[in-house]
Amino acid sequence: MITPNHWRMPESRHRRFIKDYPFATLFGPNQVVDHLPLHLDHEGQRLIGHCAKVNALWQTCHQAAVTAVFHGPHAYIPAHAYDTQPAVPTWNYAVLHVTGRFSALDEQATWSIIQSMHAQFESNISQEEEQFQKNMLNGIVGFEIAIDAIVGKEKLGQHRKAVDQQAVLSHLKNSKATQAKDLVEYMDRTL
């Protein structure tokens, strides 16, 4: 991914980005691609997730180098949105690439991953639900990706004049596109 310095996401935002946008596209060897929720372990050294045992992903990727792409907010920016003219249309977005080595895990580690995901995404789970999920463990495989590198890109118009950045924000705020609202919130937080 081409990432000029002015579009490079600071390391300080990586952890929150993964937490806020956990649904990733995972690329493995032999053109294996899948879409899965992933999250960081407590130390920030590994991505963890799970998939169905019938999914060939875990066997194909075991001990292989993989890349997880976390897609953040994005939206089309028409040329007329800029104060400075002439201008060209573009797409503003934020994305994070995580590369590392994939390892399938045993049933006990898989259950820990399920519990960790519950803690992140649910406020309460009943004992009945928990028991049902434990009974389903033989149908899923947990995995971890030991992180080698993280590169984030925030192409948000940082290279443009402040007046153009404000004009784009104004355009997005008035847009009917749902993804525009998400991008406005992100740009307000980061620019």
Rounded CA gap, 109 and 55, in Å? 18
Compute the average pLDDT of residues 160-179. Answer: 95
Compute the average pLDDT of residues 75-97. Answer: 97
**In a domain? residue 190:** no
Query: 102: which 2 tokens?
Result: 């994939």
Task: Please report which confidence band the pLDDT of residue 123 belongs to, taking 50, 70 and 90 as the band edges.
Answer: confident
* pTM for the model: 0.93
Task: Please report which confidence band the pLDDT of residue 121 belongs to, taking 50, 70 and 90 as the band edges.
Answer: confident
Torsion, CA 82, CA 87, CA 91, CA 97, rounded to 10: -110
What average pLDDT does the chain have?
95
Count the domains in the chain.
Answer: 1
Q: Are strands 46-52 and 39-40 parallel, antiparallel or unpaired?
A: antiparallel
Compute the average pLDDT of residues 104-128. Answer: 90
pLDDT at position 130, please?
86
Task: Please report which confidence band the pLDDT of residue 55 belongs to, taking 50, 70 and 90 as the band edges.
Answer: very high
Q: Which of 79-83, 108-112, 124-128, 162-166 has the lowest mean pLDDT?
A: 124-128
Q: Is the pLDDT of residue 182 over 80?
A: yes
DSSP calls for 125-136: --HHHHHHHHHT
Q: Which amino acid is at 119?
A: A
Task: Please report which confidence band the pLDDT of residue 134 belongs to, taking 50, 70 and 90 as the band edges.
Answer: confident
pLDDT at position 109, please?
95
**In a domain? residue 126:** yes
**In a domain? residue 189:** no
Q: Is the pLDDT of residue 119 over 90?
A: no
Task: Please report which confidence band the pLDDT of residue 5 belongs to, taking 50, 70 and 90 as the band edges.
Answer: very high
Check if the beta carbon of residue 12 is closer than 8 Å to that of residue 154: no
pLDDT at position 118, please?
85
**In a domain? residue 2:** no
Compute the average pLDDT of residues 128-150. Answer: 93
Check if the beta carbon of residue 20 is closer than 8 Å to that of residue 185: no
Q: Residue 127 sits in which domain range?
A: 7-183
Q: What is the CATH number of the domain that holds 153?
A: 2.30.110.10
Compute the average pLDDT of residues 58-77. Answer: 97
Rounded percentage of the chain residues whose pLDDT exceeds 70: 100
**In a domain? residue 188:** no
